[in-house]
Amino acid sequence: MSVDVRLSLEPIDPMQLLGQFTRLLEEEGAVVSFSGHARRTAADGTALESLVLESHRGATLRSMETIAASATSRFAITRAMVVHRAGHIAPGEAIVFVATASAHRRAAFEAADYLMDRLKTEAVFWKREETALGSRWIEPVEADHADAARWAPPRD
């Protein structure tokens, strides 16, 4: 089992991360990746200038590691990567990249899905949108909570 969890203040490139992840494959037959990208429009409909993810040195990375460990214990995956951007993110740029590998594809799909559901609700970030009109804090949307509630409570 290999788990690679990173918090990055620099832009992240899903293509390069998938390349790094795939190069390490051994017997795995299935690889699933997810990347989430900053939208071009803020929640209030105005053009987004920047999405800002504030993080906490220590607690943010630890929350990501806890979520990744939970995924590896619940699903038959052999390898996982979780890379999250923090700081100022431009529209279109990647916010988060997740990859999972397994012998059979169902485990890789479910683990990536689970990782994203928990990251979107529980990872220690505080998010705000900056537009020409100012700055506005945002919280998880209802759909995020509904997605996270699909899974049995984590054992951690």
Partner 1 sequence: MSATKDCITVTVELCGRLADAGDPFVSVAIPAAGCTAAELLACVAHDCPALKDDIDLGRVKVCITDAVVSAEARLLPHDRIALFPPVSGG
The site for partner 1 (CB under 8 A) is made up of 36, 53-54, 56, 58-59, 61-63, 84, 95-96, 119-128, 137-140, 144
Q: Which of 11, 24, 44, 104 binds its own copies (CB under 8 A)?
A: 104
Assigned token pair, 15 = 């293509």
- Strand ranges (E), the chain: 2-8, 30-37, 48-55, 77-85, 87-89, 94-102, 125-131, 134-138
Smallest distance, Å, CB 152 to its own copies?
18
Nearer residue to partner 1 within complex by CB, 21 or 125: 125
Smallest distance, Å, CB 129 to its own copies?
13
Assigned token pair, 54 = 């504030």
The residues pairing with 131 across neighbouring beta strands, listed in sequence order, are 48, 134
Report the partner that residue 54 touches, choosing among partner 1, its own copies, none (CB closer than 5 to 8 A by kind): partner 1
Smallest distance, Å, CB 85 to partner 1?
9
Scanning 38-46, 63-71, 72-80, 132-140 for contacts with its own copies by CB under 8 A, the matching segment is: 38-46
Q: Which of 33, 63, 72, 102 binds its own copies (CB under 8 A)?
A: 33
Long-range contacts of 71-74 (CB under 8 A, 24+ apart): 71/100, 71/111, 71/114, 71/115, 71/118, 72/1, 72/3, 72/111, 73/155, 73/156, 74/111, 74/114, 74/154
Nearer residue to partner 1 within complex by CB, 24 or 141: 141
- Tell me if 18 contacts its own copies by CB under 8 A: yes
Are 33 and 97 contacting, i.e. CB atoms less than 8 angstroms apart? Answer: yes
